[in-house]
Copies of this chain bind each other. A is one copy, B any other.
């Protein structure tokens, strides 16, 4: 099989994906946006989201240009690559820079498209609920699918064109770095934004003035809804976009290195590569992703078809079917890929297929343990609700503890995936497990982006006075979104974890390609002081990063709280409903605060790996990444699950259990939920992006770091 043809398949899959996204967008736009009030509210949300995005993108523009210039002058990571004749053979990294720019712009485009459709879909889905549950579901789900398909489409088109023009995966590293640095801003900024608004709205509106959720009198209501779009649609989309691309890059870079070496090592057997094999293994990750996209598309249609009265079940069924279809289709394409390969290569390719299936399966398992730990009808969340009977503090202790315990099952899942992946196909196997886990990312992101849309729909139904029955339907759609969200988060964490592990392996191999012997296995020995120190710093960073984000939300929410109180106090007509609150002001606070507060965490995530590399050397940097991956996993899972469980415990009490709304028990559960907000929607999910950005920074700056005592660092032990 000729390589370009395979790439053409991936490219076509990508184009189809974008085409479908645009088609779905058109379907959504055609729907009825509802009554005047609904259009008005939706318009506010849209304006707020656009404002945030435009300010954010301007800031990103400056950052991207600055980093491009830095990349241009970095010692080229391509120098050591033997697979490719450079287009610009001088010292400057033009290719890398261009790839970086494409990655950044691609990520921004996908985020923008997803969000643009999201803010159109919310009011249309609310109006759809007046016709039937199914109608409302369809509109919201198609709206979400735009984001899912845009993510996959941009990624596949970008990777396949870049690799076609410049057949060196190191180039795609630049593309991936572009995607990640945008994701970092989108995720941190969006996360701070959404929780500033949410916490602010809850603390004053709900707690002090007893206003219900989404009450139009609450000045932060619109900002809260904007937050759902910027944090949960654009943020989560760019997060998974970034993991998705990074997993492809890590696998391709490893394959390219093996192609240079002419052999793929694995514990079972070392496979010598034929020329055909060299070409095939490099593009296998992209091909599997293409297959995954097709599976996702089928899954999306199944969800639409099934999504009648039980939207939550429909979303999960879609995920299951996409998984099964992926197993079958990828086996089929593996069979075609084996044509023309040698015997041992054929065995390896089949094992790689198996590894990608194991990766996907373990993603599902991780997602479902997240679901278990956050569902109101399961023991952990139920116990948390009971703990509310003993007051605020006990809810917190309970949630924190169950959050920590919930780290164990996904950790076992990841360990089993690593074990099998490595046993079957060595480090390449670990990379392919990550690719497999992310294969159906189209379905996953679609399900996830559905959540904030129906959340917004509910608010619009409330504000547009559609009546109790319609709000109940919107509520039902909303709660299905919450379940999907828990699963997506588990998936996102697991996938990011495997991806950065694969990036760690490719980092080590890359070091020896640029400067042979610069990173020997014994250099990464945990008994060396520099390795220990690197790992130590790595373990601390996710903790510090989370703390900074949470404090950012807290600081910003405090400003928001003051503003809401000021509006209520200065103009009593807001509370009586005679005059509209000043939504622009609260949106401004959320926007400016988010952008200001994301600077320090962003600097930390890019600067720390470089500093560790300069001071303690590249082996220390490798250990730094490993330490960050492991502790990042613990913090990300703990915060996501504790936050989700607190949220659902509160909802369960609000459903009338343990005395229901307004009781002391309910208040205690609100405390849990408020603590959980920045845990689950700001700090927890941002850690994924942090890990990917740090790993890519390490790989991109590797050539530069090798200048310091040949990679041994300034402090030599």
Interface residues of A (CB under 8 A from B): 199, 203, 207, 267, 387, 390-394, 396-398, 400-405, 407-408, 411, 414-415, 418-419, 422-423, 427, 430, 501, 504-505, 508, 520-522, 524-529, 531-533, 535-537, 539-540, 543-544, 546-548, 550-551, 553-554, 557-558, 561, 622-623, 626-627, 630-631, 633-634, 638, 668, 670-675, 678, 715-717
Residues of B within 8 A of A672 (CB): 393
Is the CB–CB distance between A527 and B622 below 8 Å? yes
Copies of this chain in the oligomer? 2
A626 engages B526 (CB within 8 Å): yes
Contact of A391 with B535 in the complex, beta carbons under 8 Å? no
A295 to chain B, nearest CB (A): 29
Q: Can you show 29 pairs from A to B with CB atoms below 8 A apart?
A: A203-B390, A203-B393, A203-B394, A387-B554, A391-B671, A392-B392, A394-B554, A397-B550, A397-B551, A397-B554, A401-B546, A404-B546, A405-B547, A414-B536, A418-B533, A419-B529, A505-B527, A521-B522, A521-B525, A525-B525, A526-B623, A526-B626, A527-B622, A535-B535, A543-B638, A630-B631, A631-B631, A631-B634, A671-B671
- Interface contact B531-A526, CB-CB below 8 Å: yes
> In the complex, what residues of B have CB within 8 A of residue A544's CB?
404-405, 407-408
Question: Bound complex: CA of A408 vs CA of B638, how far in Å?
Answer: 20
Alpha-carbon distance A427/B267, docked complex (angstroms): 33
* Secondary structure dominating the interface of A: helix
Query: Which of B400, B423, B543, B558 is A407 in contact with, Cβ under 8 Å?
Result: B543
A613 to B525, CA, bound (A): 18
Which of B501, B527, B536, B543 sits near A404, CB closer than 8 Å? B543
Residues of B contacting A392 with CB < 8 Å?
392, 668, 671
State whether A540 touches B408 (Cβ < 8 A).
yes
Residues of B within 8 A of A525 (CB): 521-522, 524-526
For A203, what are the chain B residues with a Cβ–Cβ distance below 8 Å? 390-391, 393-394
The minimal Cβ–Cβ distance linking A711 to chain B, given in whole angstroms, is 15
Query: Considering the chains assembled together, what is the distance between the CA atoms of A550 and B387 in angstroms?
Result: 13
Q: Which residues of B contact A548 (CB under 8 A)?
A: 401, 405
- A547 to B393, Cβ gap below 8 A? no
Q: Whole-angstrom distance from the CB of A715 to the nearest CB of chain B?
A: 7
With A536-B415, A540-B634 in contact, is A400–B547 under 8 Å at CB?
A: yes
Give the residue of B408, B524, B537, B543 whose beta carbon is less than 8 angstroms from that of A526: B524
User: Please, how many angstroms separate the alpha-carbon atoms of A716 and B715 in the complex?
Assistant: 35
Which B-chain residue is minimally distant from A504 (CB atoms)?
B527
Q: Are A391 and B207 in contact (CB under 8 A)?
A: yes
In the bound complex, residues from chain B placing their C-beta under 8 Å from that of A671 are 391-393, 396, 671
Q: How far is the CA of A526 from the CA of B627 in the complex (A)?
A: 10
**Is the beta-carbon distance between A422 and B550 smaller than 8 angstroms?**
no
Output the nearest chain B residue to A202 by Cβ-Cβ distance. Answer: B393
Min CB distance A511 to B, Å, is 11
Alpha-carbon distance between A145 and B38 when the two chains are bound, in angstroms: 73
| Pairwise interchain contact B551-A393, C-beta atoms closer than 8 A | no
List of B residues within 8 angstroms of A716 by Cβ: 267
Q: Which residues of B contact A623 (CB under 8 A)?
A: 526
Other A-B contacts than A404-B547, A627-B630, 18 sampled, CB-CB below 8 A, are A267-B716, A267-B717, A387-B554, A390-B557, A396-B396, A396-B671, A400-B550, A401-B547, A403-B547, A407-B540, A407-B543, A408-B540, A408-B544, A411-B536, A526-B626, A536-B630, A539-B631, A671-B671
